[in-house]
Structure formats: C-alpha cells, structure tokens
Amino acid sequence: MSEGITRRQVLALGAAGAGALAVGATGLVVSGLSSQVGTPESGPVPGPGGGAWAEPAVLTSQNGLLELDLRVAEANVLIGGSAVRMLSYNGTVPGPTLHLRPGDRLRVWLRNELGEPTNVHTHGLRVSAVGNGDNPFLRIDPGQTFEYEIDLPDDHPSGVFWYHPHQHGLVADQLFGGLYGAIIVDEDDWSDTAPRVVVVSDVTIAGGSVARVAGVDRMLGRTGETLLTNGLVAPRLAAPSGSEQRLLVINACASRYLDMGLAGLNARLRGLDSGHRDEELVDRVLLVPGNRADLVITTPARPVDLIAAGYDRGQAGMGMMGGPAAMVSDALMLTVTPDASASVPDISPPTPETHPDLRDVTVDGTRTITMQMGMGGGMRFLIDGRAFDPDRVDQQVSIGTVEEWTIRNTSPMDHPFHLHIWPMQIIRAEGAETAELDIRDVVDVPAGSSVVVRIAFDRFPGRTVYHCHILDHEDLGMMGVIEAG
C-alpha cells in the first residue's frame, strides 16, 4: 500500500437504528407518464469536492479462501462533508473491496439488517449460479443471515468485477441507497502493484437521506444529482507528474452512462468488463451501468479533470408524443493532480486475453432477444413481450454450445443488456463488424438498434437471469430467465 491512501473512505458515524428505511419505496407501480411526477424535498446538497483520494478497505483471500461477514444496514456516512443516512455494506459506501485469486472460494455471511429483503450478486464473475452460489433467485429476509459460497474456477480471468443486491423490485432502490462494492480477481499480492479502485456511483440527497424517486424517474432510470467516486465528491488523485497509475473503474450507477473524457491523461485501455485487450490509447471510454474499465493513465504536469460528459439516453415517451428525456449533464469524477511528494504503486504487466475468439467458431444456434417498452396500465418494460417471472424459463440453452444472439431494442431509450455468468463477445454493433476481440457482460443496445453477440455456454448448468442494467427497468420487469443444462 502506498502512503497517502486512507483505507477507510467514509466515516461510519453510528450503528443502524431501528427506524424506517430512508429509501425503498417498495412496490411502487408505474401507472402513467406524468401522474406520479414528484419533486423530491430539497435538503442540504453535498459541498464542494476536491478532497483527498481514498479507497474502500481491501479484504484479501488467504490460502484460497476469502471469508467475510457482510452486514447490510443503514449507516450514517459522510458525503461531501455532511452526514447522510444511506444503506451500506459493513458501514461504508462503497463496501469493502474483495481481492480474490483464480481458484479461490468466496464465503460471504450476508446479514440482512434492513427492513426489507435483499441478496447479493457477484456481477461478472464466471461462477455457478446454483444453490448458495451466485444465485439471483435467493431472498434473504430481514434479520436473516445467509452463507454464500462462490467458487472461482482455476482459469477465472483476472480483472475487475463488483457486487450489489439483486432482489427483484428493490435493486435500484438498494443500489442507489449505497449498496455496492468492488471485486478484483488478480494473482498479484499487491505488495507494490496495487491498482487504484475507482467505484463510481450517483445519489440524490434530500433531508439528510437518500431521496425517494418518483415514477417517472423509474421509467427513465434514476440518475443521482451527485456523482460519487469511492463515496467522495470529485476527489483529487495525486501522483508525481509523469508517473503511471492503473485505474480499475466500475460504473456502479443505477442508470447513468459514464462517458469518460480522458484527454490529457495519455490513457491506455487494457480491458473492458472481464475482457482484456492490447493496450490502446483512448481519449474517451463509455461505461454503461455495470461496465468496468482497466486503464493506465499518466499523471499530467498540471491538474486534469476527468469528466463524465453529458449523455442522452433517449426518452420514455412513445411515438410522436415525445416524453420525458433521460439526459444528464457533465459531471466531475475526479481530478488527476501532480504532486511530487505522493508515492504511487508500480503498474503490473497487462494480461493477455485468453477467451477464445468466437468469430472463428461455428455457432450451434441463434436466437433473438427483444427489449421493449409498451403501454398497458402504464409504461411496461418487457423482454420478448413479457415481464419477469422467476418461475418461467425464457431461454433454454445447452452446456457445450456456442450461440449467436441478436439483441434488439425497439424502444426510444437505450438499454444496457446484461447476461449473468457467461460473457458475451460483441460481433456486430451499429451495423459494423467488431474489429477486435471484445468481451463484455453488459452490452449497450441504443434506442431502435440491435447488437449481435456470441456466447459460449461452456459450463455452469443452472438457472440465472439476463436483464437491462438500468436497474429501475430491471425492477419494472425487463428481465428474463435462462436455464443451461
């Protein structure tokens, strides 16, 4: 660990009380475009950022095992200098970073101290979804503790992953409330090569707690007024001018697309999601919700702002009527600042991609998945004409096959498509063949377009899900069940 990095990035001011949940308007049904538009009460907004860099505490596996208690509870955390009632894993926002190695076992004792059910999902890990593994159908009720056991295969790729709740109907509320944390799979022991973990989220604060959202915000996908980097408002990342730093960036926002402007940082992209690539210079990287980037930057001679540029995800209205737009404006993620006295860890060498190139294989089957928005008792969020039903299997696939999926979006809004367990290789997007080996577990499907991916169902029989990673849309039904056998 280098000097100058505080492991504890937010101060837990006290234990959770027994009061009502600050967030979590559960079961709100969207019934119209404008009938439930509400104005959140105004309250103290986070003060100016620019504070010192900090990262979540790191928990590292020992002898093939990382075992931890993960307490899900309300906590008072400091956001931009004021105490805010949020949801947290182990009292901090984000929760602890879990540092694993391929072949490890992750044992999590999830203790639910919320007033509503929750569970946890290890986003992007290539692990089994059955039993007490990465099973999104589990429901951990208030007061319960559940033992998750997640086994990483020996050939699990290194990279950056993350964890968050997956309790259908409550996912966006719980994530927006503060429940997310990083998972890094890396052979390295980080004694002198620890990467910078950069967990980006957004939140709206009203009256000292997380704002409830109106129906229209659920339809659009809620975006928070305040962008947080490791729970901090626009922190300064200080390092000697000319030094290299490796950033593992996670888009943990409920809905916000992070269109990261990297000009002036000599940024080289090493990987997206669990995929690795030959380093390439980039001045922009788009991370849709759930996406991660592995980046190496060079600290400039004067401070450079890393800004998530304004983005237009389309609109919730149908047809000529238009409707509310899903737009955000520029937001400052962090400022890279030269500081001769700061020390930086070394950069570990890049990892070559080991995923087979599925462009070279014969596919065993094709299918089309259509993400739709429709009217009918309010705006409905559907896949192939249906809303999520945990008791229905929507796609049955066979272990040992490779499939080509065309993922269509017939709606006027962008939807980031996510498949659990099995990564997708992008074959064709925006009408063009993909030039490189591009492995993702969340693929953006812009409004009115389609993307073609290939998926190797090479292992892990069982049932899991695919869904829009605008988590409000997932909660509203834009999710399906896949069974591999």
Q: Please give the residues from 401 up to 420 whose contact with ligand C2O meets the rule CB under 6 A.
A: 418, 420
> Who's near 3: CB < 8 A, 6+ residues apart?
342, 343
Stretch that binds ligand C2O, among 274-282, 367-375, 407-415, 463-471 (CB under 6 A): 463-471
Measured from the CB atom, the residue of 53 and 162 that comes closer to ligand C2O is: 162
Measured from the CB atom, the residue of 80 and 289 that comes closer to ligand C2O is: 289
Which residue of the chain is nearest ligand C2O when measured via CB? 123
Q: Which does 166 bind (CB under 5 to 8 A by kind): ligand C2O, Cu ion, none?
A: ligand C2O
Q: Please give the residues from 214 up to 243 whose contact with ligand C2O meets the rule CB under 6 A.
A: none
* In contact, 298 and 244? CB cutoff 8 Å: yes
Q: Which does 256 bind (CB under 5 to 8 A by kind): ligand C2O, Cu ion, none?
A: none
Q: Which does 467 bind (CB under 5 to 8 A by kind): ligand C2O, Cu ion, none?
A: ligand C2O
Measured from the CB atom, the residue of 213 and 465 that comes closer to ligand C2O is: 465
Residue 246 near ligand C2O by CB under 6 A: no
Q: Is the dihedral of CA 261, 267, 269, 272 positive or negative?
A: negative
Q: Which does 268 bind (CB under 5 to 8 A by kind): Cu ion, ligand C2O, none?
A: none
- Taking residues 396 to 425 in sequence order and writing x for each that binds Cu ion by CB under 5 A, - otherwise, the string is -------------------x----x-----
Q: Please give the residues from 328 up to 367 whose contact with ligand C2O meets the rule CB under 6 A.
A: none
If binding means CB under 6 A, how many residues of this protein chain bind ligand C2O? 10
Measured from the CB atom, the residue of 179 and 326 that comes closer to ligand C2O is: 179
Measured from the CB atom, the residue of 101 and 123 that comes closer to Cu ion is: 123
Measured from the CB atom, the residue of 168 and 246 that comes closer to ligand C2O is: 168
Q: Which does 468 bind (CB under 5 to 8 A by kind): Cu ion, ligand C2O, none?
A: Cu ion
